[in-house]
Structure 1
Amino acid sequence: MNATPKPVVGVDTAKNVFQLYTVDKQSGELICQQLKRPKFLAWFVNREPCVVGMEACGGSQHWARKLKELGHEVKLMRPKMVKAFVPGNKNDVADARAIWMAAQQPGVKAVAVKTEEQQAVIALHRIRQQLVKSRIAQCNELRGLVGEHGETFAVGQAAFDAGLKAALARLAERLPSFFIDTLREQWEEIAKLTERIARIEARLRAWMRQDRAAQAIAQIPGVGVLTATAAVATMGDAKAFRSGREFAAWIGLVPAQTGTGGKVRLLGISKRGDSYLRMLLIHGARSVLYHAKEPSKWLQGICQRRPSNVVTVALANKIARTIWAVLAHERTYDKDHISIRPGMTTTI
């Protein structure tokens, strides 16, 4: 006999006000209720286990963990997938109803519920990313300011430090001291950003030494500290994906499609999902492509047929699939491993 399906509750979360939407399966009564933040969890305490649908937005991971502790099943969904179920005007009730409807659709992929530790690792990556952006912006500003006085130097952080030191020494001979002092102070701020970035990377390395999953995928060519820690923390449970291709599609490393009348045309990569993890995988693939001492036969063959950027994305896709295989099957990376579909045999 088929098990009775769990009731579904759609929740539109906010900072202080939560809108609930559900239908009682026995009486058919429509329950559309607004709760304040302190009373939100209390509403679920004595209720039978149900499926709680929510948008994957700020604070949703915290509430998902709390609801799972109470015995409920949580389905986090991307806001883009929920938006399709809002037919008219947008308000809290319409959003909660759309979430309730989307949570019952089998084609709407759920976002993994992460642990607090995984969220903390992702937070480190986000802070580091902002520090890197700030450092690049300030370096470019200094480049422009000294460039106005005829000083230029090569691209790169090392070239910037060496070039700026020499440029300031030359400019100090003919420009006001207050201007040179201000440039030096700005340069010191950039050095502080570099130190903060290095400390965050050291913390990520320390966490990776304690996490078996991150250590396992760090053996894959093109996967370093940043990619390994970001992949483990972002993916959550690898077994939530049915295959490596589904994981690669979730990151946006597969072609988008358009078609009508039975004719399907493949476009560039879809760029869906986490753009930060996708960027790390592509940079890692580019590093393998340029620095591999003994490239595989697959890589050599595709390099002869496709442009370098296409090869880079294809290799990033393969790295993503390998990451999923290592984590989902809980095994170590083996460069000579040959994947065999169930039911197939090989001959030597």
Structure 2
Amino acid sequence: MSLSIYGIDLAKHSFSIHGEDPTGKVLIHKTITRSNVLTTFANIPPAIIGMEACGASHYWARELTKLGHTPKIMAAKYVAPFRTGAKNDLNDAVAICVAVARPSTRCIKIKSADQQAILLLHRARENWVHERTGLLNQVRAMLAEFGVIAPVGRHALQRAIPEALEDADNQLPDLSRAIIADCYDHLLTLNQRIEDQENCFNMLVSRSHNAKKIMKVAGIGPITATAVIASIGKGEQFDKGRDFAAWLGLVPSQYSTGGKPRLGRITKRGDKYLRTLLIHGARAVIANLGDKTDRLSLWCKGLVERRGFKRATVALAAKNARIIWSLLRHDTDYEPIKN
């Protein structure tokens, strides 16, 4: 028996719902408050419930699953073409209801609470790293205002700050010394928080068989491994490794017509954070090739000679993404190809 289909436009306090039965008859078309969402769907027979991806979509999907429904999360770009009339919450709910019924609509795998918790850890660390970088740049500029030129590099600058504060011969006023000293104390606090989180990543890896498995791939460390596991699980939502690489934005854009394939630049679509981690890991591998003669190193060296360092970095990141998907999806161990 076909299920009824509902579209729900999520918000903070007001939620618009539109539902239709298998024949197209409208079952509900109204806006309700947040406190009435679960009560409303608890009184509805099992149905397919579509919603746009947003901050709270995974939470609501888990709650609706407990009620026996089949929630589906999709990107907003799949909903926009089906919106008719003005842009408002009820029209959005109708468009979601139509879009989720389309067999070609790609849906997002629902994340567990544990997966979201790990991703929150990543987001917090990313924010603190950005804050630390901004703080260091600010202190560097403060010192330069009084003719104190700090050395290049984060670690060198961190060592130079106490030296500048203790140097009685420079022209730093007492007020400036106090401000820079406060900034330095905050910097030490940020360093400790980031270090604690990295220890947490190591602990998560020690408890995850899949994370240990993909860390055998060159350029994949604890941060990247935990981020991948929390983002895609075992990768069931992708049919092949290239789909995962495309989701990360690591494949060329395509504009083909008349049977003539035309490939453009790397799309840079999808998850920016994961793509950045994979590219940083690939960059570290290629920068440290040295005299290595294994098959992967020779492939990277040849690619650098033909296409340059940056293109080789992206190519290795895309290769690693495909390898990671294969390891997770097929539950196999990584075995580097020998010469």
Q: Is the 8 A contact 1:172 1:180 kept in 2?
A: no
Aligned with 1:105 (options 102, 106, 115): 102
- Taking a change above 3 Å as real, the CA distance of residues 329 and 187 of structure 1, as seen in their structure-2 partners, is same
**Separation of aligned partners in 2, 1:218 and 1:265:** 35
Could you tell me how far 1:22 is from its partner in structure 2?
1.8
**Separation of aligned partners in 2, 1:193 and 1:313:** 31
**Separation of aligned partners in 1, 2:242 and 2:205:** 25
Equivalent position SS for 1:240: coil
Q: Structure 1, residues 1-57: CA drift from partner, whole Å, max 9, x if none?
A: xxx433221110111211111212257235212222222122222433221110110
Indicate the residue corresponding to 2:47 in structure 1.
50
Write the mapping of 1:276-295 to structure 2, written as runs, cut at 5 A: 276-292=273-289, 293-295=292-294
Aligned with 1:212 (options 209, 214, 217): 209
Q: Which amino acid in structure 2 is aligned with residue 105 of structure 1? A: R
Write the mapping of 1:136-155 to structure 2, written as runs, cut at 5 A: 136-155=133-152
Q: Is the 8 A contact 2:241 2:321 kept in 1?
A: yes
**Separation of aligned partners in 2, 1:258 and 1:38:** 47
Indicate the residue corresponding to 1:60 in structure 2.
57
- Taking a change above 3 Å as real, the CA distance of residues 162 and 5 of structure 1, as seen in their structure-2 partners, is same
Q: Is the 8 A contact 1:171 1:180 kept in 2?
A: no
- Is 1:270 equivalent to 2:271 in the alignment? no
- Taking a change above 3 Å as real, the CA distance of residues 128 and 278 of structure 1, as seen in their structure-2 partners, is same
Could you tell me how far 1:131 is from its partner in structure 2?
0.6
**Separation of aligned partners in 2, 1:5 and 1:272:** 35
- Is 1:185 equivalent to 2:182 in the alignment? yes
**Separation of aligned partners in 2, 1:126 and 1:245:** 26
Q: Which amino acid in structure 1 is aligned with residue 28 of structure 2? A: I
**Separation of aligned partners in 2, 1:132 and 1:27:** 51
Could you tell me how far 1:157 is from its partner in structure 2?
1.9
Q: Is the 8 A contact 2:8 2:50 kept in 1?
A: yes
Could you tell me how far 1:337 is from its partner in structure 2?
8.5
Q: Structure 1, residues 73-99: CA drift from partner, whole Å, max 9, x if none?
A: 221111222223224321011111111
- Is 1:126 equivalent to 2:123 in the alignment? yes
Indicate the residue corresponding to 1:325 in structure 2.
326
Q: Which amino acid in structure 1 is aligned with residue 70 of structure 2? A: E
- Taking a change above 3 Å as real, the CA distance of residues 142 and 242 of structure 1, as seen in their structure-2 partners, is same
Indicate the residue corresponding to 1:117 in structure 2.
114
Q: Is the 8 A contact 1:24 1:31 kept in 2?
A: no
Indicate the residue corresponding to 2:251 in structure 1.
254
Give the stretch that moved more between structures: 80-89 or 308-317: 80-89
Q: Is the 8 A contact 1:113 1:236 kept in 2?
A: no
Equivalent position SS for 2:15: strand
Could you tell me how far 1:285 is from its partner in structure 2?
0.5
Could you tell me how far 1:310 is from its partner in structure 2?
0.7
Flag structure 2 segments of 5+ consecutive residues without an equivalent: none
**Structure 1 segments (4+ residues) deviating >4 Å:** 259-264
Indicate the residue corresponding to 1:74 in structure 2.
71
**Separation of aligned partners in 2, 1:250 and 1:315:** 16
Scaled by the length of structure 2, what TM-score is found? 0.93
Q: Which amino acid in structure 2 is aligned with residue 148 of structure 1? A: E
**Separation of aligned partners in 1, 2:22 and 2:178:** 73
Q: Which amino acid in structure 1 is aligned with residue 336 of structure 2? A: K
Q: Which amino acid in structure 1 is aligned with residue 145 of structure 2? A: E
- Taking a change above 3 Å as real, the CA distance of residues 236 and 88 of structure 1, as seen in their structure-2 partners, is farther
Write the mapping of 1:191-202 to structure 2, written as runs, cut at 5 A: 191-202=188-199
Equivalent position SS for 1:273: coil
**Separation of aligned partners in 1, 2:195 and 2:237:** 33
Could you tell me how far 1:239 is from its partner in structure 2?
1.3
- Is 1:306 equivalent to 2:307 in the alignment? yes
Indicate the residue corresponding to 2:160 in structure 1.
163
Identity %: 39
Equivalent position SS for 1:197: helix
**Separation of aligned partners in 1, 2:2 and 2:278:** 39
**Separation of aligned partners in 2, 1:147 and 1:104:** 61
Q: Which amino acid in structure 2 is aligned with residue 85 of structure 1? A: F
Equivalent position SS for 2:51: strand
Could you tell me how far 1:69 is from its partner in structure 2?
1.9
Q: Is the 8 A contact 2:148 2:170 kept in 1?
A: no
Scaled by the length of structure 1, what TM-score is found? 0.90
Could you tell me how far 1:263 is from its partner in structure 2?
4.6
Q: Is the 8 A contact 2:121 2:197 kept in 1?
A: yes
**Separation of aligned partners in 1, 2:24 and 2:308:** 62
Coordinate RMSD, CA, aligned = 2.0
Q: Is the 8 A contact 1:20 1:33 kept in 2?
A: yes
Q: Is the 8 A contact 2:5 2:21 kept in 1?
A: no
Q: Is the 8 A contact 2:219 2:282 kept in 1?
A: yes
